Every structure is written in C-alpha cells, then in structure tokens.
Amino acid sequence: MSKATRLRFPLTARGVALQVLTSVEQEGAYSNLQLNEALQRADLSGSDSGLATELVYGTISRRNTIDYFLNQYVQKGVGKLEIWVRNLLRLSFYQIYYLDRIPDHATVSEAVKIAKKLGHQGISGMVNGVLRNILRNADKLVVPANLPTVSQIALEHSHPEWLVEKWVNWLGEEKTADICQANNVPPANSVRVNTTVITRDKLIEEMKAAGLDAVPSKLAQDGIVVRSGGNMALTSWYTDGLLSVQDESSMLVAEALDVKSNMKVLDCCAAPGGKSCHIAERLEGTGQVVANDVHPHKAKLIEDQAKRLGLKQVECQISDAMDLNHQFAKESFERILLDAPCSGLGVIRRKPDLKWVKTEEDIANIAQLQAELLHAVSELLKPGGILVYSTCTMEPSENNEVVSTFLSQHPDFSLEMEPFLSQLPAVHQEYQNPAKQGFQIFPDDYHSDGFYISRLRKKA
C-alpha cells in the first residue's frame, strides 16, 4: 500500500483532487485513471465531481507557473515539502490565481482543514501562513516581462522549456505561444454519430430538444460538438449505441481511409477501438475490420465498443503489431490503419501529465519504433490499397520524417492526400513541413487534438 493510499483524504472535491495529485506525483500514476477511480469511490455530487476534475487537471497543467510563485512564499521552496503538502498548496494556489468563482477565504479555510486532518499543527499553520501571505501580495503575482522568449512562454503558459524551445525553433514564437495557450484550455465535448442507426442532423435535433447546445463539427463529417450536456457517455444515446465519445481530429482518420463496401481493413494498434468502430460504421454492415492490439484487456475494450454500437464485422485479435506480417498473408487488406504509438504531445490538454514526464529522448526512441511498424505492416496491403499513418503528436521526427523515410525506401508507395485534404477546412499551410508528407493539425487550429495524418497509396 502506498503512502498516498494510507493517508485518509477527505471525501470532498478538494480531498479527492489532493489524493489524485499526490498519487500522480508519488507513484507516476496517470491522472485520468486515478481521477476516475477516486471519483467512483467518493461518490461526489455532479458539481463537486466537476470541481475535483478541474482542480486536478488545472493544477497539473499549470504546475511550473504555480511552483514559480509558491517558491517566493515557501521558505525552503516547494521541493522540500512533503508531496501531499506541496500539492495542497498547489491546488489552493490554482483556486486563488486561476478560478474566480471560489472565494479566497473558502480556499484557505478548506486547505487548513485538510492540513489539520492529514498533518500536524505546524503544517496547518504553515499552509495558512503561506496562503494568507499570497493573498496579501496578490498584486505582485505577475510573470516578469523581461525574461528570454522561451522562458517567458514556458512560464506564462506552463510548459517545459525544452519543449517550448523545440517548438519555437520549428514554428516560431507566436505559433508556439498559441499552441501552449490552447493546451491549457479544457477540450470540447465532442461525439461521433453512429451513422448506421441515425443521421447527424437527426441526433442534433434530439439533443436540442433535450435542451443541449449541440452543433455540427466544422472539422469532421460525423462529429458533433456538445457545448453543454455533461458526460455524454452517461446518456441513453451512448448506451443505445447512437454515439461514441471521440475527439474531432481523431474522427478524420476513418475519412482518410476512404473505405468502400465489403473491404477488408486492418487497424494495427486499435485500442480502445474508437477508430476501428468508426471504420466499421462507414462500411455500413459489410466487409471486415480486424482490430488488433497487443494487450488482452484493451482488446476487451474494443469488443465492448463494437457490441454497444452493433458492429458485428469488427473482429478483435491480440498480437504485437510487429508480428502481423507473419500472421496474415502478404497483400491481405484493401485498407490499413497504423495509428502508431507516439509521444502524445498533441493531447496535452487531455493529459497534462505528459508535458512534465516526456523527454526529448522519448521522442527519438519512439520514432524508430514507428518506422519499423510502418515497414512491417506495409507488406499486408493489396496493390492499389490505402495505408493511413497517424499519430496524436506534432513532432516532425514522429510524423513527416517517418513517412518521408518510408517513401524513400518503398518506391511502390506514393503520397496521396487528395481528395481527403480538399474536403477539410482551410489549414495553416505555412506551418506544414516543407516536404508536406501529411496533414498536421495543431491544438490551436480548430480547438481539437494535435494530430497527424498521412495517406499512402500502394501502386497497382
């Protein structure tokens, strides 16, 4: 049992948030998984669950800015504090500095209560003193304006300097600042319509009749953005298989594959199954989708999704994607999707932990694996077929460079972005790699996930 588990955190919004933040830092746990488990145990009201969620993601997302200010008021620095104390101060500062709707006195009072419950009088006194000192000096909580550009962006928008520097060198200062700012905005509530049972227009009609603010996605043909309505996975529309929760950028992958009736399609790294099921929906009850994943428990997620959506042509299998070319005959599939393992730096707004745990070495290592996977699965594509390579990152070494190298080594493949590209909204072409080996979406472009899609045709 971990120390975070042994501490008896209060079953309140702030107590749950503190437990999750402590587990994430102490055990390297994923914030989304820890938060879901903690919320289920605590059984909070809807509003308190929302507050706990905002405190967890907001505190993690703004961590280095929060620590910058806290270090001015914690005598020995926040790094010397116990992990739970450090995170109690962080989430309290987040409320004071970033949230307008919570009275400052309530934030301080609740923090002191938690400190008394989990620690001794000295800790609660320190927490009280630090927070009240911060309130007295609120007008001094300003990011300096004379910092070097990279440091300025990193501190103002809470991103690691190495990543900001990398993006500035590639995209320039203004675009980098826009991306970092977008990464701190909570993602939109977007869903994909199951077009085998209902049209997008009809589902939007139903949502509006139920009082929801729902509009068609400007980016994805099967997408709806729900601007109010809470967790869509808890609705009858979800239970009855009328929709799936999916980001708009991710929905573009099935569009790029351009599947036709009765095709046999391979999704190499399929869990949790959103893209596999979208492909199956577009096959309209025909063909076959082989949804592969290396983890048995993740394959179960795919099966559950397909069953909920009534998609009988999704066939799950468990295998390392590198071995697929030994399990299937060459040229077995008309369409192949390789949604490759990646650094995930396009989904920071959903998983803010990523920006603090990823390193430049991680990016270099994953790029080699991506190249090997692309080479291995390409043998399974029929002549004239389409292979889509996608990632939820923005790093050229994982995207354009992987595809460029592949094309130089496989003269039987060519890049074919049309007509897919012409169906999309205008893109910011000045930020595309000069080689233009694919379509790169940045988080600030459409307020969707950062995503990369390259569409490759095997010559007939």
Catalytic residues, by residue number, are 392
Q: Is 273 labeled as ligand-binding?
A: yes
Quote the tokens at residue 452. 């990369």
Q: Is 269 labeled as ligand-binding?
A: yes
Q: State the CB neighbour count (10 A cutoff) for residue 196.
A: 16
Q: Is 272 labeled as ligand-binding?
A: yes
Handedness of CA 152, 156, 161, 165 (dihedral sign): negative
Label the pairing between strands 413-415 and 451-458: antiparallel
Q: Is 270 labeled as ligand-binding?
A: yes
Cα–Cα–Cα angle for 170, 173, 177, rounded to 5 degrees: 105
Q: Is 329 labeled as ligand-binding?
A: no
Q: Is 202 labeled as ligand-binding?
A: no
Cα gap 102→115, rounded to integer Å: 19
Q: Is 320 labeled as ligand-binding?
A: yes
Cα gap 425→427, rounded to integer Å: 6
Nearest alpha-carbon partner for 434 in 457, 400, 407: 400
Q: Is 139 labeled as ligand-binding?
A: no
Which residues line the annotated binding site for S-adenosyl-L-methionine? 269-275, 293, 320, 339
Binding site feature residues:
269-275, 293, 320, 339
